[in-house]
Structures are given as C-alpha cells and as structure tokens.
Amino acid sequence: MWFRNLLIYRLTQDIPLDADALEKALEAKLARPCASQELSTYGFIAPFGKGEDAPLVHASGDFLLLAARKEERILPGSVVRDALKDKVDEIEAEQMRKVYKKERDQLKDDIVQTFLPRAFIRKSATFAAIAPKQGLILVDASSPKRAEDLLSTLREAIGSLPVRPLTVKIAPSATLTDWVKTQQAAPDFHVLDECELRDSHEDGGVVRCKRQDLTSDEIQLHMASGKVVTQLSLAWQDKLSFVLDDKLVVKRLRFEDLLQDQAEQDGGDDDLGQQDASFTLMMLTLVDFLPALFEALGGEDSPQGI
C-alpha cells in the first residue's frame, strides 16, 4: 500500500470523520457491477481484503484509508461510427431520402444500447487517505477528474465535504526554475535528473529531459532564453523521490527501500498486517514530508476567510 501519485486537498472546515460513522455512510454508495444497459457505475470498496466482512474504511492510528471502484463498459467510438454509417447508408439507399441530424442521433443511441451488453468491462480503483488532524485528504491519482469522482461520491455519502485543492503562495514553476537555475534546492530536497522546460509564450516550445545533468550549460541556456521549469524530479531526505509539476501534482512517488523493508518487518507474515504497516508508515512519512514541501514552495496559501 504505497501511493504512486498525490493530489493534495485541504479540508476548509473541521468536520467529524469518525471511522465507524464513515463506514456506515459509505455503505449507501457501494460499488456494484454495470447493468446490461449501463455505461458505468461508481462506488466504494474495501481498501484491504475481500468479502462482505472487509471494512470500507481502514483506520490506522490517526489515519483513514478508503477506496472507490469505477466499472465501465468500453465501447470504441470507431465501432459506433462505422455501425451508424452503415445504417444511414442503408436507409438512404432503400428509402431514397436524406437522414438528418435528429434521426442520426436517435440511430446512434439505438446502436449504443444494442452494443452495450456485449461491450468489454474495465474496472479501476482509486485510493484516498484522510489525515483529520492535519486537515488533509490525499488521493492516489494524477488526474483531477479521477480525484473529483471519488471526492464528489464521498461528499454525497456523508452529506458535506468542504475541501479545496491545496495551493502555495508562490507559483511552483517559479520555485522549480529557481532551484534548477541556482543549482540549489531547499533544505532536505535534492534535484535529480529529469525536468520539463516550457516557453512562457502561449505557442512556445517544450523541452523534456531525462537522465540529464540539470546543471549543464545546455539546460541553463534554455532558461536564459525564457523557458521555465514545469516539472522536476526531486528527492526528499533519504526517504522518497518524486516528480513535481507546476500544478502541485506529485507524480511517480517512490518510497525508498529502507521504508519498504521497515514496513515488511513491522507487518509480520500476515498479508493484512503487511498492508496496514505499509499504509501507516507511508502516512507517517507523508505528514512529515508535505509540510516541508509546502514550506519549500513558499508556504501554503490560505484564501481569505478560510
């Protein structure tokens, strides 16, 4: 149980997030299979374990873990378009008339409904960790849409969820550019060997570097010409590495072997114990790391009135 991405949300009000009450609330939004004519379904699943007895909320110390599953039928647009074209051509040839938009749309809906029961089903899970004392919700996703699906369903289940994406006072791209330009990051942070440079003009170019010495003259020349750093690979202490972008999204998060080995020792031989130990150690690390990250980026920005 190690998150690979982080979208970070700030709770803007104190709300009770008791594990037992949350468990009961999530039962109203359980995941279920797609019916034959449904495009998708969405609901909560047990983050650990399987079966009816597995809890929907895993509590470990001060932290809560939950998971949601999306089930969707995959119906390629090209298949629908081809079938629609064949049907339109057939009608126009047999009835000697033009098929217009309103009828086309109805034909398309009929084709979709016919194909849906035979469509492949794709399942995907999204995990979220809640740290009530820190006022944070962390979603293991790099897509805001995927995170919002989980948060909006959680909001429906509990009635209220006052959250907003966490922001910092200084634009992250400005700080990242400064770190590469000066070849010096904030304390405990280390610049690694990957970055994305983007021209500040609307139609400007993009340079992506991997396994590159970011102190080289070539990189400095790009920045001297006006490019800014919009993604940068970093390490924090000796505990984790990640890629940070200009939207404050943490991607490709990797916890170092030392932490993973410790979790393996703490978890014992039981699979559930291993998952619990990994989650606990991950969260203890993140609640130390995130304040340091916010401070390094100029401090958290709190909108007026919050």
DSSP string, 111-179: HHHHHGGGSEEEEEEEEEEEEGGGTEEEES-S-HHHHHHHHHHHHHHHS---EEE-EESS-HHHHHHHH
Same domain for 51 and 196?
no
Neighbours of 221 (CB within 10 A): 10
Alpha-carbon distance 63 to 239, whole Å?
A: 20
For residues 166 and 137, the answer to whether their CB atoms sit within 8 Å is: no
Residues whose CB falls within 8 Å of the CB of residue 295, separated by 6 or more in sequence, listed in order: 186
Mean pLDDT by runs of 10 across the 306 residues of the chain is: 94 87 94 87 91 87 95 87 90 90 91 83 94 95 95 94 94 94 92 90 81 85 87 95 96 91 82 89 96 96 64
Which DSSP state fits 35? P
In a domain, 2, yes or no: no
- Which residue range(s) make up the domain with 103? 77-117
**What tens digit of pLDDT does each residue of 175-185 get?**
999 999 988 89
Residues whose CB falls within 8 Å of the CB of residue 34, separated by 6 or more in sequence, listed in order: 40, 41, 71, 72, 73, 121
Residues whose CB falls within 8 Å of the CB of residue 217, separated by 6 or more in sequence, listed in order: none
Same domain for 89 and 195?
no
In a domain, 195, yes or no: yes
Helices (H) and strands (E) in the chain, counts: 8, 14
The pLDDT value given to residue 305: 45
Strand partners, 96: none
In a domain, 247, yes or no: yes
In a domain, 143, yes or no: yes
Distance of CA 31 to the CA centre of its chain: 19
Amino acid identity at 298: G
**Which residue among 137, 166, 195 closes a domain?**
166
Same domain for 228 and 244?
yes
Q: How many domains does the chain have?
A: 3
Same domain for 34 and 133?
yes
Same domain for 173 and 158?
no
Same domain for 102 and 160?
no
Same domain for 42 and 15?
yes
**Which residue among 166, 197, 231 closes a domain?**
166
Same domain for 234 and 270?
yes
In a domain, 249, yes or no: yes
Alpha-carbon distance 69 to 150, whole Å?
A: 9
The pLDDT value given to residue 200: 76
Same domain for 156 and 253?
no
Alpha-carbon distance 193 to 196, whole Å?
A: 11
Same domain for 220 and 248?
yes
The pLDDT value given to residue 306: 46
The pLDDT value given to residue 266: 84
Which DSSP state fits 97? S
Which DSSP state fits 192? E
**Which residue among 85, 101, 117 closes a domain?**
117
Same domain for 17 and 136?
yes
Same domain for 104 and 144?
no
The pLDDT value given to residue 304: 54
